[in-house]
Amino acid sequence: MSSKDRILARIRRAVPEPGPGSAPEPAISRDYLPVHGTRAPAETVDLLAANLTEYRAKVHRVDEGGLAMLLMRLLAERGARTVLVPPGLPPYWLSAADPTRIHDRAASTARELEGVDSVVTGCALAIAETGTIVLDGGPDQGRRRITLIPDHHICVVRVPGQVVDSVPQALPRLDPSRPLTWISGPSATSDIELDRVEGVHGPRTLEVVLLGAQ
């Protein structure tokens, strides 16, 4: 007997399937809230900003016209000489930025990416109640490694369109067959006497740009 068969047989002995005529199983009670509180779209965006800030992400707000200048400024302030660019990032986003563009290619190794200073991406969506941005590897986000290896990640969130209130609202909008990365503030550890330290293995600095009419 294979281990698979043995394990399945043990399970069936432990919890036999109910026979015919036995009472139907009660449904899972899902009377928890789909959203905590009621908010206008602008308030949802404010909550996202507040929660991101509390977990030490830097939050900026800008409209379409100001985005290129803002990204230029953020990269300059950081002193970035090189910036990773996902294949589908709208070209105008970085049209004013000085750093050398590094394009993510499947062939580029983690070690090659290690030398890059910053990365700029879009996102799949953001969750206000938890202060989370979600990446799904879409064209404006690129492979998972490019938002992991550089120490500085700038993520652009279109507001209010890409913002949902809550976790229950987020899941139906995501495709589980894609690799998903949920990011809530920069990398952090509290392993040493519970002192929180930012940036262990992931980016030490997370900047979130809320892009929309101001």
Partner 1 sequence: MTRTHLGMPGFPAVPPFPAFPLAAHEAVGDPVLRANLRHATHTIRDKRARAVAELADWDALRTAGKEIKDHTLRHLDRYLLELEASVTAAGGTVHWAADAAEANRIVTELVLATGEREVVKVKSMATQEIGLNEALEAAGIAAYETDLAELIVQLGHDRPSHILVPAIHRNRAEIRDIFASEMGSWGRPAPDDLGDDPRELAEAARLHLREKFLRAKVAVSGANFMVAETGTLVVLESEGNGRMCLTLPETLISVVGIEKVIPSFRDLEVFLQTLPRSSTAERMNPYTTMWTGLGPSQGADGDGPAAFHLVLLDNGRTDTLADEVGRQALRCIRCSACLNVCPVYERAGGHAYGSVYPGPIGAILSPQLRGTGSEIDASLPYASTLCGACYEVCPVAIDIPEVLVHLRERVAQGGPVTRDGIRVRIRPAHGHAAERAAMRAARLLLDRPGALRAGERLLSRARRLRPRRLPGPGRAWTDSRELPELPAQPFRDWWAARERGRDHEQDGGRQS
**Least distance (Å) from partner 1 to the CB of residue 115?**
11
**Least distance (Å) from partner 1 to the CB of residue 103?**
13
Minimum CB distance to partner 1 smaller for 42 or for 110: 110
Q: Specify the 3-state DSSP secondary structure of 210.
A: strand
Which whole-number Å values give the CA distances from 162 to 71, 118, 133, 166, in the listed order? Answer: 19, 23, 10, 12
Give the count of beta carbons closer than 10 Å to the beta carbon of residue 41. Answer: 14
Which whole-number Å values give the CA distances from 15 to 9, 19, 78, 179, 209, in the listed order? Answer: 10, 12, 59, 34, 51
The conformation of residue 16, written as its DSSP 8-state character, comes to P
**Least distance (Å) from partner 1 to the CB of residue 63?**
28
Minimum CB distance to partner 1 smaller for 76 or for 110: 110
Minimum CB distance to partner 1 smaller for 77 or for 195: 195
**Least distance (Å) from partner 1 to the CB of residue 90?**
21
Minimum CB distance to partner 1 smaller for 75 or for 136: 136
**Least distance (Å) from partner 1 to the CB of residue 167?**
5
| Distance, CA of 163 to CA of 139 (rounded, Å) | 19
Residues that bind partner 1 (CB under 8 A): 2-4, 6-15, 17, 25-26, 28-33, 36, 51, 55, 106-107, 110-111, 114, 127, 129-132, 137, 143-145, 148, 167-168, 171-172, 176-195, 197, 199-203
DSSP codes joined into one string, 144-174:
GGGGTSSSEEEEEEETTTTEESSHHHHGGGS
